[in-house]
């Protein structure tokens, strides 16, 4: 079956982003989700979509935050939705249990969608939320394919929405590295090692009975139809859907959102794309993503690396708090004095400004991981043309830029 490419190339994508960023993110009251910018004394009204492991984990952080009021939860597994609704009663009287996220999007009294679904649902829900005039906080990895990475940012810009991707570790675990690196403390950075798990893999688990109250077809969404198996859709952080290529891009992408994201941020490369992906073999020990400026990122599968920067004047490993910046440098930080990603998002929703993990950063990191996964899949080195959103002279690799989407779960196209 042929695969259709996205209609948005890098040049047009950057044009959309640049045009939107040139003007303040302030809208007329008539086109905001609640008929106006949210005053400081009013709560931001939020609803949660996806109440599995991660959805359950982040709900208290949002629900307990003074900026938010929570209207309800949604999950395609009724028991999970009901359980989350019961938990939400600690903060919200009579929360609504939504059967479908589309019902949330129709509500004019909801400002924000908090999306914690499996990865293959992120782009569709986020794009449609933007179209409905909602701001979005979406968990990582933000997208499933390079085409989705273009689409999700285009939607945020076209509809002028405040959209944050959800890697808290970029700042809260790895953020201290950015001023050290950008101050030149280890000289000019030449190499970066990131210790990560492997790429996505096929899933051939046997069929099991679908639990009562679980809309299995909806859980699959755009992914190919497959028989239900509890492990296939498990949110287990050490297994489950995260390791299967139909629903994610393996633990390479799951932790790549944190580690590649933190490294790209530290170098100021988090809106830049590599030009070459080098398959390991011979003298090349690790899969390598190379930038036009010569910096090489390694998918380090051995060597005990978490994140390691190698520069002309030494190396800097994550965890080394003794190495300090040579000078004061300005780096991107959370806004409004926020000390966590939820506070940053709340401040940016109120003030209509780009959050620390704006979709542009999250989508770029997701794409970075996707390029590595595609290289592993075709088992050869590739050259990447960011302007055209395609690989150079490689029809087979280009088949993976987008995926066939199962009806009726296709992602709206952004013109």
Model confidence at 9, in pLDDT bands (50, 70, 90)? low
Residue with tokens 């490419």: 5
Q: Is the Cβ–Cβ distance between 322 and 315 less than 8 Å?
A: no
Q: What is the side-by-side strand order in the sheet with 135-138?
A: 96-98, 68-74, 44-49, 112-115, 135-138, 163-165
Helical H runs in 213-340? 216-220, 250-267
Between 107 and 20, residue with greater pLDDT? 107
Provide the angle, in degrees to the nearest 10, between the axes of the packed helices 359-378 and 250-267: 130
Mean pLDDT of 158-177: 97
Q: How far apart are CA 358 and CA 160, in angstroms?
A: 12
- The residue extents of the domains of the chain are 10-167+337-359
Structure tokens at 218: 């909806």
Give the containing element (helix H, strand E) for 136.
Answer: strand 135-138
Q: E strands of 225-313, at which residues? A: 276-278, 288-290, 296-300, 307-311
Q: Does domain 10-167+337-359 have CATH number 1.20.1440.230?
A: no
Q: How confident is the model at residue 4 (pLDDT cuts 50, 70, 90)?
A: very low
More confident residue, 6 or 181: 181
Report the DSSP beta bridge partners of residue 398: none
Between CA 203 and CA 220 the distance in angstroms is 13
What are 26-40's pLDDT values in tens digits? 333 333 444 456 777
pLDDT in tens, 54-106: 999 999 999 999 999 999 999 999 999 999 999 999 999 999 999 999 999 99
Question: For 189-240, what is each residue's pLDDT tens digit?
Answer: 999 999 999 999 999 999 999 999 999 999 999 999 999 999 999 998 989 9
Q: Which residues contact 377 (CB under 8 A, 6 or more apart)?
A: 199, 400
Q: Please give the pLDDT value at position 39.
A: 72
Averaged confidence pLDDT in the chain: 92
**Residues in Cβ contact with 306 at an 8 Å cutoff, skipping those fewer than 6 apart:** 194, 195, 259, 317, 318, 319
Phi, psi angles (nearest 5°) of residue 46: -125, 155
pLDDT in tens, 241-297: 999 999 999 999 999 999 999 999 999 999 999 999 999 999 999 999 999 999 999
How far is it, in rounded angstroms, from Cα 141 to Cα 50? Answer: 15
């Amino acid at each position: 079956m042929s695969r259709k490419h996205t209609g948005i190339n890098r040049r047009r994508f950057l044009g959309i982003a640049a045009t939107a960023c040139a003007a303040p993110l302030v809208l007329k009251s008539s086109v905001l989700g609640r008929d106006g910018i949210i005053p400081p004394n009013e709560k931001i009204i939020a609803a949660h979509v996806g109440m599995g492991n991660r959805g359950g984990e982040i709900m208290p952080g949002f629900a307990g935050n003074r900026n938010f009021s929570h209207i309800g939860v949604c999950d395609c597994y009724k028991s999970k939705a009901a359980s989350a609704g019961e938990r939400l009663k600690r903060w919200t009287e009579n929360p609504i249990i939504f059967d479908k996220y589309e019902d949330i999007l129709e509500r004019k009294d909801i400002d924000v969608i908090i999306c914690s679904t499996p990865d293959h649902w992120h782009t569709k829900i986020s794009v449609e939320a933007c179209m409905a005039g909602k701001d979005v906080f979406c968990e990582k990895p933000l997208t499933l394919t390079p085409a989705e990475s273009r689409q999700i940012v285009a939607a945020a810009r076209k509809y002028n929405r405040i959209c944050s991707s959800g890697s808290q570790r970029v700042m809260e675990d790895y953020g201290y590295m950015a001023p050290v690196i950008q101050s030149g403390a280890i000289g000019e950075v030449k190499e970066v090692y990131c210790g990560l798990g492997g790429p996505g893999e096929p899933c051939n688990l046997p069929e099991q009975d679908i639990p009562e109250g679980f809309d299995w077809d909806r859980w699959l969404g755009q992914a190919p139809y497959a028989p239900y198996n509890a492990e296939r859709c498990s949110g287990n952080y050490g297994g489950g859907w995260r390791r299967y290529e139909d629903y994610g891009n393996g633990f390479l992408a799951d932790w790549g959102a944190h580690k590649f994201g933190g490294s790209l941020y530290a170098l100021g490369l988090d809106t830049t794309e590599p030009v070459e992906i080098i398959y390991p073999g011979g003298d090349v020990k690790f899969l390598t993503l190379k930038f036009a400026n010569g910096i090489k990122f390694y998918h380090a599968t051995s060597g005990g690396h978490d994140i390691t920067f190698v520069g002309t004047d030494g190396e800097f490993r994550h965890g080394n708090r003794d190495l300090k910046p040579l000078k004061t440098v300005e780096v991107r930080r959370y806004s409004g004095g926020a000390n966590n990603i939820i506070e940053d998002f709340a401040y940016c929703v109120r003030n209509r400004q780009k959050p620390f993990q704006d979709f542009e950063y999250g989508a770029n990191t997701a794409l970075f991981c996707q390029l590595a996964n595609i290289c592993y899949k075709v088992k050869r080195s590739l050259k990447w043309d960011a302007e055209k959103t395609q690989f150079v002279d490689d029809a087979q690799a280009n088949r993976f830029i987008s995926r066939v989407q199962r009806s009726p779960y296709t992602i709206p196209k952004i013109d």
